[in-house]
Every structure is written in structure tokens, then in C-alpha cells.
Amino acid sequence: MGNGLIVEARGRRGGLALLWLRDVLVEVKSFSSHHIEAIIEGRWRLVGFYGHHEVKNRRLSWALLRFLGTRLDMPTVYVGDFNKVLSRMETQGGRLRPLVQMKGLQKVVDELGPVNLGFSGYRFTWSNNMVHPHTIKARLDRGLASTSWVELFTKVGVKHISCNRSDHSPVVL
């Protein structure tokens, strides 16, 4: 059995969960409706992240990510729903989004310097679940990590798992 922390969803949006085996030492440092920050085995940090859904509030997401990125100097992995793509190549369908909308997340990634962990599985993690030609897909969920975390876990990758019951695919480290 194990332990966990669940941050409830607000309606159909958000919700975060961090679950771990009982024999794993986890210290939850902070949490909100948009993040869970935990120290694992005293060696590295996990940040579960949920970016604001509303475009007008994305700057709050990037400010939170920036704060969390500079808070503790230790190997860190960020995983979750960032609610934003890093490039137009991470979308399919719908209208072309202005480049300025991608710049907020890209700027934080450039400032903090995390490595994009890539993925295996289907390339998109979100769909509006509409029928063609109205289908929109995007890679909103991802894993990013500090170079020191990547050096600790050289064989870890991100896997996108198929799910028919949600508009998002689970992302697993």
C-alpha cells in the first residue's frame, strides 16, 4: 500500500495527485490547485504542475513555475499539464495560435534551463474529442527536468498512455 496527496479538481478542470509507496520517503513542501512540490528520498524534487486553463491567467502559471524553479537548488523534474505547447509542431487542427501565446512557457523554460524529457507513445496528449474536420489535438502534458536530475536518472523517460475516458492522456515517468 502507499500514501498520497490529492488536490481536488474544480469542476471538470484541474486536479492533481501524487501517490507513492509507503516505503518511499516523500516530503510534500507545498501545494495548490496548480502544483504539488515534493522532495523524494531527500535527493531530488518532483513538481507536479497544472497550468491555468484560461489564457488570461497563464502569466500566473509562468510566475508559479518560475518561483518553483528557483526555490530549491536540487535535481528537479516537472511533470504535468502545462496547458500550453512549446511549438506549433505540437498541435494539429484548429486555428493557428499566435506565436506570442507560446512565448510565455518558452521563456520560463529558457530561463530555468530544464531539459525536455521527450516521450514515447502517441505524440498528442490532449484532444477536444470532436469529429473531423473539427478535431484539435495538442501536446499539453510533458516532463521537463534539470540536467542534474537527468544525470541521476539516465534511463527515465516519459510515456504517453492511451485513454478513452478523458480529453487528456496520462503521462507517466
Distances in Å between the Cα of 34 and the Cα atoms of 28, 52, 57, 157 are 14, 7, 12, 23
pLDDT of residue 9: 86
Model pLDDT, residue 98 = 67
Per-residue CA distances from 64 to 21, 57, 121 (Å): 28, 11, 29
The DSSP symbol for 10 reads B
- pLDDT score recorded for residue 15: 85
pLDDT tens readout for residues 121-132? 999 999 988 888
The CB density around residue 133, as the number of other CB atoms within 10 Å, is 6
Mean pLDDT by 10 residues, the chain (173 residues): 86 86 96 96 97 91 95 94 90 78 88 92 91 91 96 93 81 85
Separation between Cα atoms, residue 49 and residue 36, nearest integer Å? 7
2-172 folds as Deoxyribonuclease I; Chain A (3.60.10)
- Give the pLDDT score at 173: 85
Each domain of the chain, given as residue ranges in start order, spans: 2-172
Task: Give the SS3 label for residue 67.
Answer: helix
Residues 13, 53 contacting (CB under 8 angstroms): yes
DSSP letter assigned to residue 130: P
Predicted local confidence at residue 102, as pLDDT: 77
Beta-bridged to residue 39, according to DSSP, are 27, 45
